[in-house]
Amino acid sequence: MRVLTVAADRPGAYSTIGSALLDAPDGAVVAIAAGTYAETLELSGRSVTLQAEAGATVVLDGDGADWPTLRAVDGALTLRGLEVRAGDNLAVSVDRTALTVEQCEIRSRTRPAISVHASTTFTVDRCTVAGAETGIVVEGAGGRILDTVVRDVAGDGIVVALGSDPLIRGCTVTGCGGRGIYVYQYSRPELTDTTVSRTGTDGIGVAHGSTPTIRRVTVQDTRGAGIAFTPGCGGVVEGCRTDNTGLPGLVIPDGADVQVTEQASVRPAESGGPLEDLLGELDEMVGLPGVKAEVHALVDEIQVNEWRRAAGLSIGAVSHHLIFAGAPGTGKTTVARLYGKLLKALGVLPHGEFTEVSRRDLVGQYVGHTAEKTATVFEKSLGGVLFIDEAYTLSRSAGTGGDFGQEAIDALVKLMEDHRDEIAIIVAGYTTEMDDFLAANPGLASRFSKTIEFENYSAEELLLITGRMVAGGDYLLDPAAGEPLTAYFDRIAHGANFGNAREARRLVEAMRKAQSQRLRALGRMPTTEELRSLLASDVVSAAGH
């Protein structure tokens, strides 16, 4: 693979992207140094990659041109780490081209930012699309839009047309003058784990015989309906939420064949507040679609019960105690903290404070001591959440020291019954071991309202988690690091001691150490860009230790 370098002030490099493309063979990578390039590019029958050098801010600026900033036909085009700007035309437009856009920012003013037409495959991954007439237009194409933000567009956020069937997953579409997502002309996309908010009309509109699958999508703060179908359309709506939308939240007219299952909630317009902020914080967590749906459903049930109580209606007894089952590093502690804050926002618990304990905090050293320790911890946690990690170690089969762990379980069962509405207890641990824990006392299982399963993160989700950790530490991850990171997570994902997000954190720390060793070997003071950049070589070095 040939690599051509573009840097206006670097001897031996190409001064413009266009001049590099003239010499680039098919399959070449054009690596672009930091700077703003006032160019427009048109490619026909070409297969090339345009990417920013590690840590570089590269702007491809087509403002003022009467044609797209980037136009590709009958080829393959990959964009990585670029900012592409357009004025009164399209920013990126492709026909019959395999398009990949990764970690880019795409902007336009009066036309679509990204237009994909008649392409068999495309990927828009971890991008920001903003300031356009329409964010992304997909016509007669199949592909993926992943973990991408579409915001502040004058018209529709994402348009899917002409029989297209893309996957739209993990995206945020917000601040649209028209619809958030518009599906029409017999299209059949899959919309999953996506949030649509602040739209001038419907959150999601479906028309002209289209049959989308809409799973675990949240639509909120829309002037029009949350999700609206027209006659002649079909599809699936599963586990979705509409909140603070125009009425009704979900529109399915006569003549539309839509299967609605596991509807999480449809709530009318009401003022926002801390509750919505907390739910938004939950939704922003990587992965965990099933966990998010379960927590949303619990919040909806509690909210309705509070409304019924205020209206003088009867309500059933509700337990706020939960079981979190799954491997370490899957977000159980983070979700438990949020759950406490949610219960406070709902008015169920007075302060929602979070107390985390393990076996050693509950189990004493002699008979009678354990019940006293357990009661003390319990009483201090009243009004909030008591989180017992690795709770299965309290059962006879897993614990040590005689039956002292069993004494803690028996004390908990009585305290939970005596203070049913004053505390939320969450017990956490591996799924199989938690079954043994529940069997330790005949009344224990009935004290918990629900078991929520936390699945292991996929390699793709761990890559996104790693990216957030890197950005949070004021580092920049080289786009080329994605491949070795994915390979590393794929390799360790099935190990007996796989730690999920903990593995990502350990790897980031090892990457920082590898970068430190690399920079020390330079023999000079590194630049700010070098200090921020984590390279693919740092990943390879860290993964080998």
Q: Are residues 347 and 479 in the same domain?
A: no
306 and 431 inside one domain: yes
Tokens 């693979």 locate to: 1
Domains identified in the chain, total number: 3
Q: Final residue of a domain: which of 396, 422, 454?
A: 454
Q: Which residues contact 249 (CB under 8 A, 6 or more apart)?
A: 219, 225, 226, 227, 242, 243, 266, 267, 268
Q: Which domain holds residue 123?
A: 3-154
Looking at the fold, whether 41 and 133 belong to one and the same domain comes out as: yes
Closest-CA residue to 119 (of 92, 147, 138, 91): 138
How far, in Å, are 16, 375, 388, 396 from residue 408 at the CA level?
71, 9, 12, 11
Residues 20 and 131 reside in one and the same domain: yes
12 and 148 belong to one structural domain: yes
Residues 340 and 472 in one domain: no
**164 within domain boundaries:** no
Work out the number of other CB atoms within 10 angstroms of the CB of residue 536: 17
Same domain, 449 and 481: no
At which of 423, 454, 485 does a domain end? 454
- The CATH number linked to 477 is 1.10.8.60
Question: What pTM does this model have?
Answer: 0.53
Q: What pLDDT digit, counting tens, does each position of 282-336 carry?
A: 887 888 888 888 888 888 888 887 777 666 666 666 678 888 888 778 888 888 8
Per-position pLDDT tens, the chain of length 545: 899 999 989 999 999 999 999 999 999 999 999 999 999 999 999 999 999 999 999 999 999 898 999 999 999 999 999 999 998 899 999 999 999 999 999 999 989 999 999 998 999 999 999 999 999 999 999 999 999 999 999 999 999 999 999 999 999 999 999 999 999 999 999 999 999 999 999 999 999 999 999 998 999 999 889 999 999 999 999 989 888 888 778 999 989 999 998 554 444 444 445 777 788 888 878 888 888 888 888 888 888 877 776 666 666 666 788 888 887 788 888 888 888 888 888 777 777 788 888 887 887 776 667 878 888 888 888 888 888 888 888 775 444 445 577 778 888 888 887 777 778 888 888 888 887 788 777 777 777 878 888 887 877 787 888 878 887 778 888 888 878 888 887 777 666 566 677 778 888 888 888 888 888 888 888 888 888 888 888 888 887 75
Cβ partners under 8 Å of residue 408, min gap 6? 359, 362, 363, 370, 371, 373, 374, 394
436 and 302 in one domain?
Answer: yes
User: Which of 458, 456, 475, 455 lies closest to 169, judged by CA?
Assistant: 458
**Which amino acid is present at 2?**
R
Specify whether 375 is located in the same domain as 438: yes
State the distance between the two ends of the chain, measured CA to CA, in whole angstroms: 29
Residue 444 contacts residue 416 (beta carbons within 8 Å): no
pLDDT, tens digit (0-9, with 9 covering 90-100), for 184-243: 999 999 999 999 999 999 999 999 999 999 998 999 999 889 999 999 999 999 989 888
The answer to the question of residue 237 being in a domain is: no
For residues 331-344, one letter each, b for 16 or more C-beta atoms within 10 angstroms of the residue's C-beta and e for the rest, the string is bbbebbbbbbbbbb
